Amino acid sequence: MEFNLFTFVFLFAILTSVLALLWLNFRQDKAINNSYNAVPEGFSESIKLEDHQKAGNYTKAKLLLNHFEIIFSTVVLLIWTLGGAMNSLDSYWDQRILDPVLMGTVFVMSIMLIASLIDLPFSIYRTFVLEQKFGFNRMTIQTFIGDLFKEIFLTLILILPLIYAILYLMEDAINNYWWIYVWVIISLFSLIMMWVYPSYIAPIFNKFNPLDNKNLKSRITNLLERTGFSSDGIYVMDGSKRSSHGNAYFTGIGKNKRIVFFDTLLKGMEDKEIEAILAHELGHFHHKHTQKRMITSFVFSFISLALLGYLITQDWFFNGLGITERSSHAALVLFSLVLPVFSFFITPFSNLASRKHEFQADAFAASHTDANDLISSLIKLYKENSSSLSPDKYYSAFHDSHPSAVLRIERLQ
């Protein structure tokens, strides 16, 4: 293989991102150590030192695992590209499958399968060692294996045809603007998935039962009426089947929208706190955060595909990343692997917008429910999920899509 200028740009971007991620991890670890022996001001009455230290230990354990994941994933990326693994796999399938679209589809699926197998040990460790150690894991080996096969099945049913369609358009080359057709297909696929997910895909993994708490249901119904929202139903999900972490979400688009509470969340909250949490979720819809994120995603994918439309014609792009022969499927995979390396630098701006949305949703909730109820529910969530109350400011600015508990509660007060 031959190195070119792009090879060195790629290597510089990888080195910069890895060093930045490790530096942020070390800052976060130091921040946890510095606050380990004292509960942050304002939380001493609601959070015990024992719980605060458990959150610190949990955060440090996740950081340690993330150190290995960062380094390991970087090595794997370099093996796929500059190491020639992808080029060898491309040659292997090229000698066995004549049809270029079918060959490209098999190539992409092979990459996905191998990547999943590589990530499997980390997933097993995260679930059965790390989460188990801190008392969060409820998943059995049978459930874990069952989820794995369900994901494979859904990939074959949903993703396989999508990849084939994308590569068909790229190979057929309707014109130089094939990437516009691909963008339309991906956008439509995303919208359809958002619509079908609540009713058809989520129930494959979890059970969803209608909320049977009459008092809470009455509260929620009144909240929906006074805020002008409607939903396809209020459901309780058996989240305790996999984890003791609690959560709630509002999912779907159009008329196919659902309010979903984890059963673990309902067990630890009062009805008025659940109402406040839901009001926060409704705040996202009131401010059209879902639509804004969707539009941002579509714009980003449009720009990305336009860039791919240019790169697919450039030999330096392929040669600089270890591929000897230009092809649509190689371009698609290379671009998918390389894009996160360079988009890494815009991550803080994306999370900044997300944190702004969280503050807006909190304000909406405070205007339709008692702010103190939202505060107490947030404290319980941070406590039950062992979330850090004192993250490093730079780590949080880069990684966190939600503001820290301290900042959210200060705003609410």
**Which residues participate in catalysis according to the annotation?**
281, 362
Element (H, E) at 318: helix 315-319
CA separation for the pair 42, 189 (Å, rounded): 46
Cβ–Cβ under 8 Å, residues 401 and 38 = no
* Residue type at position 258: R
CA proximity to 259, closest of 282, 234, 238: 234
Q: What is the DSSP letter of 386?
A: T
Q: What is the DSSP letter of 269?
A: S
Tokens describing residue 101? 């679209």
How many residues appear in the chain? 413
Cβ–Cβ under 8 Å, residues 357 and 287 = yes
Mapped onto helix, strand or coil, the DSSP state of residue 252 is strand
CA separation for the pair 264, 239 (Å, rounded): 6
How far is residue 308 from each of residues 25, 59, 163, 329, measured CA to CA in Å? 32, 38, 15, 12
Element (H, E) at 250: strand 248-253
Element (H, E) at 261: strand 256-262
CA separation for the pair 411, 408 (Å, rounded): 5
